[in-house]
Structures are given as C-alpha cells and as structure tokens.
Amino acid sequence: MSTESSLPPRPGPSADDLVALDGMRFTNRFTAELPGDPDSANGVRQVLGAASSPVRPTPVSAPRLLAWSPEVADQLGLSEDVVRSAAFAEVFGGNRLPAGAEPYAACYGGHQFGNWAGQLGDGRAIALGEVLDRHGVHQTLQLKGAGPTPYSRGADGRAVLRSSIREYLCSEAMHHLGIATTRALCLVATGDDVVRDVLYDGHPRPEPGAVVCRVAPSFLRFGTFQLPASRQDRVLLRRLVEFTLRNDFPHLVALGSFEEQVGALLAEVCARSTALVVDWMRVGFVHGVLNTDNLSILGLTLDYGPYGWLENFDPGWTPNTTDAQGRRYRYGNQPEIVHWNLWQLANALVGLVEDPQPLQAALDAYSGCYQEQYHAMMAARLGWGSFAAGDEERLAELFAVLTSAEIDQVLFFRDLARVPVNDVAARPDEELLGPLREIWYEPADAAGAAGEAMVRWLRSWAVRVGVGGLAEDERRQIMDGLNPRFVLRNYLAQEAIDAAEAGDLSLLSELADVLRHPYDEQPGRERFAARRPEWARHRVGCSMLSCSS
C-alpha cells in the first residue's frame, strides 16, 4: 500500500489524468442485463421487480487520497501518476463520474441475526459500474460511504474514517493471506464530518468521513436471491440466476437443463463457502456479522464491518457488540452459521426447480466437506502431513490446552514450527517451551498447570510429527506457509486509526506494507507481530466493535 503523504502532491486535475480515468473500459453488465428501478428519485422506498436503482454519489467538500493499493491499481490499468492526481480523488471520492459509468445501488434482502429483515440493499455503497481489468476480467467498482440511496432506511449513506481504514486494511490483508476477498483500490477522505454513535449508547459525535473503493468481480450475495424469492417474484429470481450462471459460473451453463444448472450452482457456492470458512478458521478471522446479506455468491469475504482477529484462543469470542449476548457469530460457530446461510440460499432457489434433491444433496454434503477440509488444514499447519486416526483426540487436547490459560493463538501456531521434535523424550521441559515463550499473556502460566499441559501435548505432537514422515525443512515450510507471522491485530488497526485521525498516515502505510507479506519474518518489524498489549484489552476498537459505520 502507498499513502499520499509519502509522495509530493500533484495539484489540479490534468487533461491526461481525466483521459486515463475516462478510458476505463466500462461494460456495465449488471445494469444492462437485469431490470432496473424505473424511479430515478433518490428517496427511501420499497423497490419491486428490480435488481438495482440508479443513483449518483453525493459530492463531498474536499476529496483527498489517503492510501491506495498498487496491485489493484495496476490490475485496473491505472498508473501511479493517475492515482496521485486530483482527478482520481474527485472520481473515487464521488464528485465526478468517469465516462461510461452507470452508477447504481443494488437491491437485496437478508436474514439478520437469524431473523428475516426484508429489503436491505446498498444503503451506503454505490457502484460506479463494471470495468474490464488488464486481464479481461470484469470488476465492479463500488464506493462505500458515497451518500444516501433508496436503501439507506433514513441514514446518511456515509462512512467514517475509522471503519473505512479497517475495511481498507483488512480486505487487502486477507488477499495477501491467500483468502478469497473483495479488494480495495483506495481510501479517500471526504473533508466532511459524519456523526456516529459508536457504541449505540446515546453519545454520538462527529468523526471524519471517508470513502473506500471496493473492487470485486461481483457483489452478488445470498440476499440478492432471497428478496425476490420472498416476494414470489420468480421472473426476477430466474433472471438473477441466469445472469449469475452466464457471467460468474459460465462453466455450469453447458450442463444441460436450467434445473441442473441451479443444482450445480448451489453445489459450487457450497464448495466455495466451505473453503472460505476453513481459511477464516485457519488464521483466526471472525467476520462478526454473518447475515445472509453478507455472504458472497462467489465465496469472497464480503462486508468488513465489526470483524476481529482471534488473539488469545477463545472459540466463544465475537467482536460484535450487537452479538455480545447470543454470540451467534462467535469464532467457533462460523462453520455452522455459513451452513445455515446456505440453507437460506437453497430455500430461495428451490422455487425455480421441480426436484429439490440436488439442492438437498449440496447442503447435506457441506458438513462432511467442511470436516474433511478442516482436518486436512489442521494436519498441515501442525506439521503432521495428513489427518490420521487419533488426530481428532489430539486436536481436542490441543484446544483444551489453548483455553487453559490466555495464550496467543497467532504466536503459538507460528512458533510451533520452531519447537524441536527429535529425541523429544530426552529433552527438558524448558527446551520444548523455549520457542513458545512469547505466547503467554501471563508468563507465570508457563510455569504452572497450563505449562505442564502444554509440555505433555508438545511431546505427543512431536511423536506424531515423526509418524507424518515429512522432512524437517519441508515440514517447517508447510507450517510457515499456513500460519502467518503477521495478521491485522485489532489493536494495530486502532493505532493506525488513531494516528490517521491525528493527521499522521505513516503507521497506516507501514502496517499495510507489513500485511502484504504475512508469512515472512520481516526483521525489524517484530512489533507488528507482538501479542495484544494490556491497554488494548477492553478498549473500543481493540476488543469489541459495533455495526456503526
């Protein structure tokens, strides 16, 4: 990532910059191939029979580029000079439409915390349209925080800097971790304040506003299909499914009948969703708000709201204040919630088929597929090679150890590869625990019962590594390739936010650069891998967040 503060400004939108931005190859399949809202007024309403509503971003007073992703810019064919130009900030702050753009807000519904919420839609996200990237792949450019839409439900459609930084950093961090995700092209300050009540406790305050440009081949979500199904609008539902098959799953179109394609579509969405949640569990990512409107039909991590990263190992932890009582979206419940959401998608699609059995089969396969992939992932990240008899019990023992004290799970899994495995029976406890000295939030725990339990498990683990038969170098390489040294720890994101709100973008830039290489050691940057400091234990933004902006 780069930040505007690291380079000299280029005043004034030049003609060349405008030409470059106007030269983006808009295709706009979504608005061209699907029915749109005939009402162009930007007022809150129920939108029937349409996949989207035409709406333009609301201009801001002083758009200023704060940060951008060089990889995404290059993918879109935008040079660094163009990105740094005043014209770029005008376009991606929402003040100017590039030639060929057909902006819209998408219409969809969803289940929120298990309850049907009816029409939701893009309440503060406005797509500029679809463009072809340098590889000929369609990408939708979406401005989050660009003003009100017909789906804003009385809100202002804006986003604050803190949440925009979190979305920007995490979407790019997830990509570099190798996890399917929407991307972020840039972060633009608006120059305007936005009033938010961060904890919904009756204390709203003005905060600096910002806009993130999100990029993905599609922003279609489960709720896109649920809404017309709930309204018995099978014409729109079928058109949405046909559009999705044609543009996002073209390899399924040749399968034969439309019914067969629908069954195959759900099966593939199940497979992609399975792989996604396995990756979340691997790195300790907690989405925080897994409503059906936040699940991508492409299996991408979508909508970075009150997410968090598991630091000490706690399967019951949720980062979302709204979820604090029921903990529906806690870390350990994510696989089951994704399955539940897939059921709701199937319930939406079932009206298009006469035989529901293929849909049922896809849903029934989920649990077995998840367990198989999860076991394979855990066996690999623990250096065992493949999952074998007895490993289920070894995992249960490990999780019991990790919850017996406050243990940093990121450091544990990364540093486990450094624990010696040869002649383990003859090694003293201290030698086995040595590489794990930084994992303990209370160092005294290493000398107590938790430390003793850890040693017993390490000895069993080492024996199992030997049975796996991997060469030492290969084993460590595999483990280090699955267990990141660096993740977007909650307190690091908050530190970057605090500095940016004070006008200093240097930490934002350095943190984003660290996160571009999460599996490398990066000497000199060890502080970005350190466990959570005590000051961050209960601080808002470091422990719990709300859905506010």
In-domain check, residue 467: no
* Residues 6 or more apart whose Cβ sits within 8 Å of residue 516: 1, 172, 176
pLDDT at 105: 98
Q: pLDDT tens digit string along 486-514?
A: 999 999 999 999 999 999 999 999 999 99
pLDDT at 20: 83
Most distant CA pair in the chain, distance? 77
322 and 429 both lie in a single domain:
no
- pLDDT-based confidence at residue 85 (cuts at 50, 70, 90): very high
31 and 52 both lie in a single domain:
yes
Q: Report residue 454 CA to chain centroid gap.
A: 32
Domain boundary among 459, 487, 514: 459
Q: pLDDT tens digit string along 311-350?
A: 999 999 999 988 889 999 999 999 999 999 999 999 999 9
Domain that holds residue 249: 223-380
pLDDT at 266: 98
Q: How many domains does the chain have?
A: 3
281 and 374 both lie in a single domain:
yes
Residue % of the chain over a pLDDT of 70: 96
Average pLDDT of the chain to the nearest whole number: 94
In-domain check, residue 354: yes
35 and 184 both lie in a single domain:
yes
pLDDT at 198: 74
How far apart, in whole angstroms, are the C-alpha atoms of residue 245 and residue 252?
A: 7
Domain boundary among 203, 219, 235: 219
In-domain check, residue 468: no
DSSP for 379-395?
HHHTT-SS--TTHHHHH
The dihedrals phi and psi of 414, each to the nearest 5 degrees, come to -70, -45
358 and 288 both lie in a single domain:
yes
- pLDDT-based confidence at residue 5 (cuts at 50, 70, 90): very low
DSSP 85: B
- Beta-strand ranges (E) seen in 448-544 are none
In-domain check, residue 482: no
Q: pLDDT tens digit string along 7-39?
A: 334 455 566 677 789 999 999 999 999 999 999
Q: pLDDT tens digit string along 375-425?
A: 999 999 999 999 999 999 999 999 999 999 999 999 999 999 999 999 999
Q: pLDDT tens digit string along 208-264?
A: 999 999 999 999 999 999 999 999 999 999 999 999 999 999 999 999 899 999 999
- pLDDT-based confidence at residue 203 (cuts at 50, 70, 90): confident
Q: pLDDT tens digit string along 340-379?
A: 999 999 999 999 999 999 999 999 999 999 999 999 999 9
How far apart, in whole angstroms, are the C-alpha atoms of residue 275 and residue 266?
A: 14
In-domain check, residue 251: yes
pLDDT at 9: 44
pLDDT at 549: 43
227 and 210 both lie in a single domain:
no
**Mean local confidence (pLDDT), 479-489:** 98
Q: Three-state SS across 323-351?
A: HCCCCCCCHHHHHHHHHHHHHHHHHHHHH
332 and 282 both lie in a single domain:
yes
Domain boundary among 219, 239, 273: 219
* Residues 6 or more apart whose Cβ sits within 8 Å of residue 325: none
User: How far apart, in Å, are the Cα atoms of 521 and each of 371, 373, 414, 524, 528?
Assistant: 31, 27, 10, 9, 11
- For residue 188, list its beta bridge partners: 65, 211
231 and 198 both lie in a single domain:
no
In-domain check, residue 548: no
How far apart, in whole angstroms, are the C-alpha atoms of residue 144 and residue 167?
A: 10
pLDDT at 6: 41
8 A C-beta contact, residue 412 and residue 402: yes
Q: Is 293 a catalytic residue?
A: yes
User: How far apart, in Å, are the Cα atoms of 510 and each of 7, 91, 491, 493, 532?
Assistant: 14, 26, 15, 11, 18
pLDDT at 7: 39
202 and 279 both lie in a single domain:
no
Given the residues 17, 122, 279, 293, the one annotated as active site: 293
The dihedrals phi and psi of 214, each to the nearest 5 degrees, come to -90, 145
315 and 374 both lie in a single domain:
yes
160 and 260 both lie in a single domain:
no
405 and 451 both lie in a single domain:
yes
